Amino acid sequence: MQTPDLNLLVALDVLLAEGSVARAARRLRLSPSATSRTLARLRDVTGDPLLVRSGRGLVPTPRAEALRVQTRQLVDEAQAVLRPAEQHDPATLSRTFTLRTSDGFVENFGPGLLARVAAEAPGVRLNFLQKADKDSAPLREGRVDLETGVIEAGTGPELRSQALFHDRLIGVVRNGHPLARPKITLADYAEAGHVIVSRTGLDDDAVDGPLLPDGVKRRVVSAVSGFAAALALARASDLVATTPERHTHALRDGMFSFPIPTAERQFTVSMLWHPRLDTDPAHRWLRACVREVCT
């Protein structure tokens, strides 16, 4: 089966509207002879004369009358698809966005983001999911609209990204802990009991491992799956939790924080999304909200 020439729809719409080959030719910017050939093709593909001579003009057949409204609607829809997206008004937007974020993001940035969205787009709902792994499938499959995290070698190469803020690792202990003092050496830090964040429970999979000074060996007492749990244990024990400073600011209230005593290694937290949403006006607005709240 041959693919239909969709350009014929535009010609049919103009011919039915004008009822004249000459006037249709001017609108289509074709010669009268080329427009006559197009009408002949339309008659061939539809199996109907469409326009027949009556006196000095052309009148539509019953089939042409039946096609008039449908053809106009199809051409309007096609033009809407191909024209640039119109500026959208967040105040009239009704949509649910799902964000997948690392532990601490919601506690630190969620309230500000919700307030911003509620003020600009009361019809928008935000759902936050815990980022349990680095798999990009939720973004590719459309189950997640936006994700935050550190870009790594395993991050899907097709994903779009934009930096949100720079962060660094810090040590966190309860007030009254032996390390809650002005000066701490690297040996002090390493020899203390630690709770690490590891998605597998293995020391080699600690999420902060690649960002620590080379050769540092900590005395690991426990492993948990997220920063909130690590800080909860550190708050109620003599364990040290190592967390991102900005990312966990709201979770560390009332605790003692200190820089890791070595050369600082900053890292960048970014937001990521799938290319199919790159030019979506509503998604662009959401990204602007996230960027402004985080920076």
CA distances from 270 to 129, 149, 238, 287, 293 (A): 16, 5, 33, 11, 13
85 DSSP assignment: P
Task: Indicate if 18 and 129 belong to the same structural domain.
Answer: no
Structural domain for 61, as ranges: 7-82
Chain position carrying tokens 């041959």: 2
Task: Indicate if 163 and 196 belong to the same structural domain.
Answer: no
The average pLDDT across 225-250 equals 94
Residue 11, domain CATH: 1.10.10.10
**pLDDT for 77-96, tens place per residue?**
787 677 665 567 899 999 99
Closest CA to 103 of 169, 148, 153, 154: 148
How far is it, in rounded angstroms, from Cα 115 to Cα 59? 61
The string over 236-245, giving b where at least 16 C-beta atoms fall within 10 Å of a residue's C-beta and e elsewhere, is ebebbbbbbb
pTM over 0.85: no
Least confident of 2-11, 51-60, 248-257: 2-11
Task: Indicate if 158 and 181 belong to the same structural domain.
Answer: no
Whether residue 143 lies inside any domain: the answer is yes
Q: How many structural domains compose the chain?
A: 3
Task: Indicate if 208 and 257 belong to the same structural domain.
Answer: yes
Give a three-class secondary structure readout of 122-143.
CCEEEEEEECCCCCCHHHHCCC
Residues recorded for the chain: 295
> Token pair for residue 142?
């459309």
**pLDDT for 150-184, tens place per residue?**
887 667 777 899 999 999 999 999 999 999 999 99
Sheet with 169-173, strands from edge to edge, namely: 219-224, 193-197, 240-244, 169-173, 256-259
